[in-house]
Amino acid sequence: MVTEQEIWKYLTEVPDPEIPVLSVVDLGVVRKVDLSEDEIKVTITPTYSGCPAMKRMEDDIVEKLNEKGFGKVSVELVLSPAWTTDWITEEARIKLREYGIAPPENEPDKSVLFANPIVVPCPKCGSNNTRMVSQFGSTACKAHYQCNDCLEPFDYFKCLR
């Protein structure tokens, strides 16, 4: 009899299609695993409403569990509670940095319109002397930054909460 824990372990082998160093579990997208007699139900939540990777994650989860010998797998998408970057694990933050993407910082509430810009350290050289190039980057979840010291352009996984 398979345990829930085993299923969670298999799910850590499903990579985020856009940031392959992270799994769907690292990202905090998988919310729940339900086992019944003949079916596995995985509940996921989208990072952003329009994130095109969600459908791919759904398919990849089903494919991975089929591959592990589970025939009947369903994936359910729920919106609440809404995903937040706070659910990205500590380990995943280290992986992100090593991959060249700055992990989310502890940002102030977005409802404060004219808040001071946050400091995002460069994932390459560690300098705090960086600047935001654009609040919107290569994917919905990232902003575009550049390091003023080593000049490295980099992605910042922006804080969502």
Partner 1 sequence: MDKNLFEYLLRLGDDSLILGHRLSEWCGHGPILEEDIALTNIALDLIGQTNSILEYAGKVEGAGRNADSLAFLRFDKDYKNCLLVEQPNGDFGVTILRQFFFDAYRVPLFTMLQNSSDEQLAAIAEKSLKETRYHLKHSSEWVIRLGDGTDESHARIQSALDDLWRYTDELFFSDETDADLKARNIIPDAAAVKTEWQKTVQAVLTEATLSVPTNNWKFEGGRKGLHSEHLGYILAELQFMQRAYPNMEW
What would the two tokens of residue 99 be? 């991959």
**Least distance (Å) between residue 104 CB and partner 1:** 13
Of 7 and 103, nearer to partner 1 (C-beta) is 103
Distance CA 64, CA 102 (A): 29
Segment near partner 1 (CB under 8 A); pick from 4-12, 22-30, 66-74, 76-84: 76-84
Of 3 and 135, nearer to partner 1 (C-beta) is 135
Q: Give me Rg for the CA atoms of the chain.
A: 18
Q: What amino acid is encoded at 143 in this protein? A: A
Residues 10-69 that bind partner 1 (CB under 8 A): 46, 48-52
**Number of residues near partner 1 (by CB under 8 A):** 27
**Least distance (Å) between residue 68 CB and partner 1:** 29
**Least distance (Å) between residue 130 CB and partner 1:** 16
Task: Catalogue the long-range contacts made by 89-94 (C-beta closer than 8 Å, 24 or more residues apart).
Answer: 89/25, 89/26, 89/28, 91/26, 92/22, 92/26, 92/27
How far is the first Cα of the chain from the last one, in angstroms, to the nearest whole number?
A: 38
Contact 72, 38 (CB under 8 A): yes
Of 64 and 158, nearer to partner 1 (C-beta) is 158
| Residues 6 or more apart in contact with residue 78 via CB below 8 angstroms | 31, 43, 44, 45
What would the two tokens of residue 119 be? 């400091």
Residues 89-148 that bind partner 1 (CB under 8 A): 110-111, 113, 133-138, 140, 144
Residues in the chain: 161
**Least distance (Å) between residue 50 CB and partner 1:** 3
Of 5 and 49, nearer to partner 1 (C-beta) is 49
**Which positions lie near partner 1, rule CB under 8 A?**
46, 48-52, 78-84, 110-111, 113, 133-138, 140, 144, 158, 160-161
